[in-house]
Structure 1
């Protein structure tokens, strides 16, 4: 497995228009009254929209045979914003396998994507691929021991996964009840990236920032979220950034999370 480390996944240019950027904002919870997120004449593109443009990169690694795409799961996501995305245009991206970590019974593949607008890393947890004698890699950030400095309650929409999948990730697990049951879920689940991005809107509001001013984001997908779930979010100050965890009925769904707004 260590032979995958450093593997070039190629370069790709992905074009988009204002309609896709607006659909994305609606899919991650923007309201019709958020005119600078949903009205083309005032539009500011959410930085997390970049992750839909770069989804080809982790997909390319799976297609190359690095792991079994039926069992691998998205473990964590990191995003660093370099420049604001234009309202419409084309983004050239390069991708590579930055690291492969040996977790024993599994491996974690870090897929790094770079462009002039952002840097992003997908960490993909692949069961059955570990045990090759490699480095275990860094541990996830632990939950702060201090009491939360704030809390938020965020309800997902019942049609949220159905909207989000129109932006490119059309895995049947997010829409088809039969596919969900086959995957061991009682019903279709939210996309992890949709849930994480949806939390950035109320987080921005809680610190007096605009969600389009997001500059750094990371989070670990601890367990599934179902459309319609209400997430309870606990926050902690970390200098100018915010640490956060989200749970549904005392079950942690996003952990080791951090957001920083300009």
Structure 2
């Protein structure tokens, strides 16, 4: 097997910072309601773990800028996030990135870009038409959905301003806001960022499982089709292991068209409240 010259490429490091305002804007952009004060009010703020993905967006953008693939045709294929420790309401951290794998899909290639730091490890899988055919390994196939009916069904309601808000967090690709750019990319109109769609599932998943969304420790999914601002998604979940709250999930838009597949969300197990020590 031939290994792509991009595999193992060091993409460098970057120090990123954020404030409570950034974390609150993020929560609102993915659909948090105004009365979720733990997500949108700085006095009670718990930062959503998926906010970390906005801090690491520089890495896949860097790989595209280096010429690894055609940035006008490459698409975000899947995402994985592993949370090591929670983000504070504001702070600064240093992230490092590298290309861990390049998989040969024949007419295309899949580039895995891993970003790591003390708080999280995030992996973008980027599907790049025209970059395959170099004789490398194809890599694993897509995960299969559980062969039983879903135990849970929820609804994800996106809104018309969602892509316009989400792009303010760093992903300024024109296809998410400009109708002409969207049409050039083969879409009828501007569409939602894949990471926004994925993060929008976090709140109903957590609420449905009776856990807090900030207790997320692992999240992954494949992006099967675009979502347009205002779409209502059907979210189906299958219970996972008993160690904490774990659910397999997929989401579909009107007509049952899958938009997220192979989803996995894992939350930390509930921590019992500390017992009060009686006064001596």
- 1:24 equivalent in alignment to 2:30: no
Q: Provide the residue aligned with 2:159 in structure 1.
A: 157
Using the size of structure 1 for normalisation, the TM-score is: 0.99
Number of equivalences: 262
Superposed, 1:1-262 pairs within 5 Å as 2-239=4-241, 240-249=245-254, 250-262=256-268
The CA deviation at 1:220 is 0.3
Which SS does the other structure have where 2:144 is aligned? coil
Q: Distance in 1 between matches of 2:178 and 2:7?
A: 34
Q: Distance in 2 between matches of 1:182 and 1:103?
A: 24
Q: Which runs of 5+ in 1 are unaligned?
A: none
Which SS does the other structure have where 2:96 is aligned? strand
The CA deviation at 1:203 is 0.2
Residues 104-149 of structure 1 show CA distances to partners (whole Å, capped at 9, x for unaligned) of 1110000000000000000000001111111111111111111111
Report runs of 4+ in structure 1 exceeding 6 Å deviation: none
Q: Distance in 1 between matches of 2:93 and 2:196?
A: 21
Which SS does the other structure have where 1:3 is aligned? coil
Q: Distance in 2 between matches of 1:174 and 1:127?
A: 20
Using the size of structure 2 for normalisation, the TM-score is: 0.92
For the pair shown, which has the larger CA radius of gyration, 1 or 2?
2
Q: Which runs of 5+ in 2 are unaligned?
A: 269-280
Q: Distance in 2 between matches of 1:14 and 1:191?
A: 21
The CA deviation at 1:187 is 0.8
CA RMSD after TM alignment: 0.8
Q: Provide the residue aligned with 2:272 in structure 1.
A: none
Q: Distance in 2 between matches of 1:38 and 1:228?
A: 21
